[in-house]
């Protein structure tokens, strides 16, 4: 162990060390956050501390007076946290990890940049780390060491996002669909969406489109009552399935996610609809297996038909590109973390 520098340490449990059911038990609900800070500051007498709590990780950062003291705190902290969660330390320890000094700085840099996330390069974690730091600062729990480490980690995360490919490309079916729709229509505020089938898969892609501004949405389902129920949830219009051919002529985006043995949309129906569309492109996403749209429809002019395999192939390619960028990004972040650690030791 490096005995120089401040006694910064980290006790954590993440998706890398613990299965979902364990993470659920270790999660810190907002009402318990105060108790954790009280434990770290008053019981363990730490001058600086910070709690990072997301769906995939619970991490407790602290700064002890010396590295040796930090090392000694490990067992006690584990006992206290286990007690707080009403668990035995022996049941918790296998799912945790403990880091000290420069390793902590490097870890914070990786986390903030999304390198340690389950979905590499995701951006949500950056906001979560910022919120946690801001919360700690408001409580007066973050001091000179954590201030420097976290602020520098934000700069490093921005650098990584701007200069490497770790955040590039959509990696979920919903986000790939949104990116494709954006490439066709730009903003989605004026796009008319038709969802055929009111199941979970279709709704999840619909939600992604709505998040990006799609407002004019119509849902068609075999059972009108079900369509109405889902339409109310998404604040849109419900229609019966037999109105689909007529709606094809005015829709911009058609999401097909109906559980059916035979195609819901035929080549002939689409050919008829395209004749009335004056060259406006129609983006069709067929999420169903078996497919809801006759594959031959892809040959029609101005029809852009993507099925589940197409979307998955795009998502996988993007994920592969992100993974390829991780190693290069990690090298630079390690170097940046090292500089921060050295500057902390020089204080």
Catalytic residues: 55
CB of 328 to another protein, least distance (A): 13
CA R_g for the chain = 26
Q: Which is closer to another protein, CB of 133 or CB of 283?
A: 283
Tokens of 42: 């008053």
CB of 346 to another protein, least distance (A): 34
Q: Give the CA distances from residue 281 to residues 188, 192, 250, 285, 308, in Å, rounded to whole numbers and listed in that order.
A: 14, 12, 11, 13, 20
Q: How far is the CB of 305 from another protein (least distance, A)?
A: 10
Which CB, 97 or 159, lies closer to another protein? 159
- The smaller minimum CB distance to another protein, of residues 147 and 321, is found at 321
Q: Which of 67, 71, 95 is nearest to 81 (CA)?
A: 95
Q: Which residues bind another protein (CB under 8 A)?
A: 165, 168-169, 176, 179-180, 182-186, 278-281, 301-302, 304, 306, 310, 313-314, 317-318, 321
- Phi first, then psi, for residue 318 (nearest 5°) are -65, -40
Nearer to another protein, 52 or 297 (CB): 297
> Which position has the token pair 């949104």?
178
| Residue placing its CB nearer to another protein in the complex, 6 or 169 | 169
Nearest Cα residue to 102 out of 137, 70, 143, 139: 70
Angle value at C-alpha 263, between 262 and 265, nearest 5 degrees: 155
Residue 10's beta-bridge partner residues?
61, 99
CB 186 to another protein: min, Å: 4
Cα–Cα distances in angstroms (integers) from residue 230 to residues 198, 203, 241, in the given order: 7, 8, 14
Closest approach of another protein to the CB of residue 5, in Å: 37
- 171, two tokens: 């990696």
Nearest of 267, 209, 208, 198 to residue 239 by alpha carbon: 198
C-alpha angle 154/158/160, rounded to 5°? 115
Cβ-based nearer residue to another protein, 122 or 310: 310
Q: How far is the CB of 282 from another protein (least distance, A)?
A: 11
Phi, psi dihedrals of residue 194, rounded to the nearest 5°: -120, 120
Buried b or exposed e, range 156-195, using 16+ CB within 10 angstroms: bbebbbeebbbbebbbbbbbbbbbbbbeebeebeebbbbb
């Amino acid at each position: 162990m490096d005995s120089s520098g401040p006694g910064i340490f980290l006790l954590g449990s993440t998706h890398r060390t613990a299965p979902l059911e364990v993470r659920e038990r270790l999660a810190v609900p907002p009402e318990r956050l105060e108790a954790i800070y009280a434990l770290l500051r008053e019981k363990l007498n730490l001058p600086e501390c910070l709690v990072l709590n997301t769906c995939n990780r619970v991490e407790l950062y602290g700064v002890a007076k010396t590295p040796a003291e930090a090392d000694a705190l490990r067992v006690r902290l584990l006992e206290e946290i286990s007690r707080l969660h009403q668990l035995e330390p022996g049941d918790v320890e296998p799912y945790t990890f403990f880091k000290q000094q420069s390793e902590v700085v490097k870890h914070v840099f990786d986390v903030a940049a999304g390198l340690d996330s389950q979905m590499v390069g995701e951006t949500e974690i950056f906001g979560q780390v910022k919120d946690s730091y801001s919360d700690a600062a408001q409580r007066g729990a973050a001091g000179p060491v954590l201030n420097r480490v976290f602020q520098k980690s934000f700069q490093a995360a921005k650098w990584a996002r701007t200069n490497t490919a770790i955040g590039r490309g959509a990696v979920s079916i919903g986000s790939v669909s949104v990116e494709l729709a954006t490439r066709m229509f730009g903003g989605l505020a004026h796009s008319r969406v038709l969802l055929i089938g009111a199941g979970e898969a279709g709704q999840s892609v619909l939600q992604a489109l709505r998040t990006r501004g799609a407002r004019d949405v119509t849902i068609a389902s075999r059972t009108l009552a079900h369509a109405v129920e889902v339409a109310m949830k998404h604040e849109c219009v419900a229609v019966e399935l037999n109105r689909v051919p007529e709606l094809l002529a005015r829709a911009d985006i058609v999401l097909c996610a109906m559980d059916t043995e035979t195609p819901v949309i035929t080549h002939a129906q689409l050919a008829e609809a395209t004749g009335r569309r004056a060259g406006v492109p129609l983006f069709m996403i067929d999420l169903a297996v078996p497919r809801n749209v006759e594959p031959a429809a892809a040959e029609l002019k101005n029809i852009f038909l993507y099925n589940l395999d197409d979307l998955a192939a795009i998502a996988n390619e993007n994920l592969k590109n992100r993974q390829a960028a991780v190693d290069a990004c990690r090298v630079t972040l390690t170097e940046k973390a090292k500089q921060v650690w050295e500057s902390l030791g020089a204080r």
